[in-house]
Chains A and B, each alone.
Chain A
Amino acid sequence: MTGPTPAAVVLDGVSKCFGNKQVLSGVSLSVPRGEAVCLLGRSGTGKSVTLRLMIGLIKPDAGDIFISGYNISRLEGKELSRARCKIGFLFQSAALFDSYTLYDNLALPLRRLTEKTNSEVKEIVDRALGQVGLAGDKQKLPGALSGGMRKRAGLARALVLEPDVLLVDEPSSGLDRITASEIDDLLLEQKTLHQTTMVIVTHDVHGARRVGDRFAVLDKGNLIALGKPEELENHENETVRNLVGAK
């Protein structure tokens, strides 16, 4: 019998406001290593803000955020950069560098943050693009790709440094059901094969049920429910039931 897995992601009483608007109020959440937690909630409830806080793009007004042992909320400069090497981030828009080819998009972090030779970088990038089915498109610019392909390329870039934690913002946004399902397959594969811890912000309950081990529901900046999907189906809060209910 194994003991409890140490948490890869810990949010401890995190609060954030923009001007007068309180976006998050004392949110606490713990995600064990290898688990995928899906953050659900209505638009404007602070889901994407939570992800941006986790990667250190914005700082919380109160509380601490630990990712792979690093207190992200207190780090700056080089220390923050070092911590970010352990975190992959898939943006809603994929945010690929539009003046770079797919190959260069993936090679950039390897060239900047590792001591790998050009041939090693090429091998890693080719493998990463192959895993997401874009091996033949590496010389294309992001503008020449479809939404699904861009998302897959964004995922490959997020995973190229083999992060411990993957943060995903709306993986299915703007995609048809089949393409969204392909992205879910890739996330599932990553979780199963590499035990990558994931926090996924999504509105797609169907996809969330496939990839997520637990759901966390945010409402008006508060974490109102946390648990397995089947546990939350009969939750006392109507918003939770509505968000989780649809299979």
Chain B
Amino acid sequence: MPEFGKHIGLVRKRHERTIGGALKEFLQFIGNITLFGIRVIVSVFRRPLEFGEIWMQMEDMGVRSLPLVCSSGLALGVVMTLHTRSTLVAFGATALIPRVQSLSFFVEIGPLVAALLVAGRVGAGIGAVVANLRVTEQIDAIEVLSVDSFKYLVVPRVIACVIVLPLLVVFMDACGLVGGFLSEYAVSHLPPQLFLERAFQGVEWSNFVPPTLKTAVFGFIIGTVSSYYGYTMNEGTQGVGKAATNSVVTCSLLVILADVILVKVIFLLFPGSAV
């Protein structure tokens, strides 16, 4: 019996240590990533601002993400209309389909889906590329050449994410509307002019601008978190894949969590946007 009690005690101790260790690790991660984010913000205001690098990253993230964002927007637009139609038909309210479509895209679907797509494509890319630069000693080489590797590699990527994501959301919203129109036209032959008229009926700037601009915060999260995983990676080639995976998972999770907070903030600042 005393042996059994000792065993239980050991198991409990190990369990406590594991939970304690995991909590400590989690808090360390939160602290590190916060410091990393602060360093990014401080570095933005230090010269030189790497305009060439920022432009290159914007091109890479923006232009190359456009096909994914547009095709997803188009498909989601079609699917959304199909779903809303089947529900609204029962109430004889099919005239509301364009408005439901535009509001749902402007307010939530566009910003959130675009952010999650960018978290997948760009976040993984940044995590893997920066980690690879670390593994192949290219970050060390940049430092050796007296160039601030953080400012040269991390800051332009974060700035590019912040600028590009709201622009991609605009494309996603537009493609969502086009997809919705095509789907609606196939069923009811609704003229495009009438669809647009109904789509923007009762839609205010506060339904479009704040939700679109909140994605700048998502961009900051994606750029910072994925750069953090890449820049601080120290596990050799195996770590490159790990950095990419961790970037996608953490960015997606943080984007969704940030969305909850930002929606509440938008409702507080722009009461008219609560539809």
Contact = CB atoms under 8 A, between A and B. Distances in A.
Interface of A: 52, 55, 57, 81-82, 84-85, 87, 89, 91-93, 95-98, 108-109, 112-113, 157
Given A91-B141, A95-B141, A84 B146 contact: yes
Contacts of B136: 93, 95, 98
Interface of B: 136-138, 140-148
A104 to B, nearest CB: 11
11 contacts: A81-B147, A82-B146, A84-B143, A89-B144, A96-B141, A108-B147, A109-B147, A112-B146, A112-B147, A113-B145, A157-B145
A52 B146 CA distance: 14
B54 to A, nearest CB: 15
Contacts of B148: 81
B137 A91 contact: yes
B140 A95 contact: yes
Contacts of B138: 95-98
Given A91-B137, A93-B136, A55 B147 contact: no
Contacts of B137: 91-93, 95
B146 A57 contact: no
B234 to A, nearest CB: 11
Contacts, number: 46
Contacts of A108: 145, 147
Contacts of A113: 145-146
Contacts of B146: 81-82, 84-85, 109, 112-113
A84 B149 CA distance: 14
Contacts of B145: 84, 108-109, 112-113, 157
A55 B144 contact: yes
A89 B144 CA distance: 7
Contacts of B147: 81, 108-109, 112
Given A85-B146, A109-B147, A157-B145, 20 more contacts: A57-B140, A57-B144, A81-B146, A84-B143, A87-B144, A89-B141, A89-B144, A91-B137, A91-B141, A92-B137, A95-B137, A95-B140, A96-B138, A97-B138, A97-B141, A97-B142, A109-B145, A112-B145, A112-B146, A112-B147
A75 B155 CA distance: 24
Contact of B140 (A82, A85, A87, A91): A91
B75 to A, nearest CB: 32
A95 B149 CA distance: 14
A180 B99 CA distance: 71
B248 to A, nearest CB: 22
A96 B147 CA distance: 14
A57 B146 CA distance: 11
B143 A57 contact: yes
A93 B143 CA distance: 16
Nearest to A82: B146
A82 B141 CA distance: 15
Nearest to A109: B145
A81 B137 CA distance: 18
A148 to B, nearest CB: 18
A198 to B, nearest CB: 15
A93 B140 CA distance: 12
Contacts of A98: 136, 138
A82 B66 CA distance: 42
A215 to B, nearest CB: 25
A84 B143 CA distance: 9
B241 to A, nearest CB: 18
Contacts of A55: 144
A81 B252 CA distance: 37
Nearest to B140: A57
Which 8 A-B pairs rank lowest in CB-CB distance, beginning with the nearest?
A95-B141, A81-B146, A95-B137, A109-B145, A89-B144, A84-B146, A91-B137, A95-B138
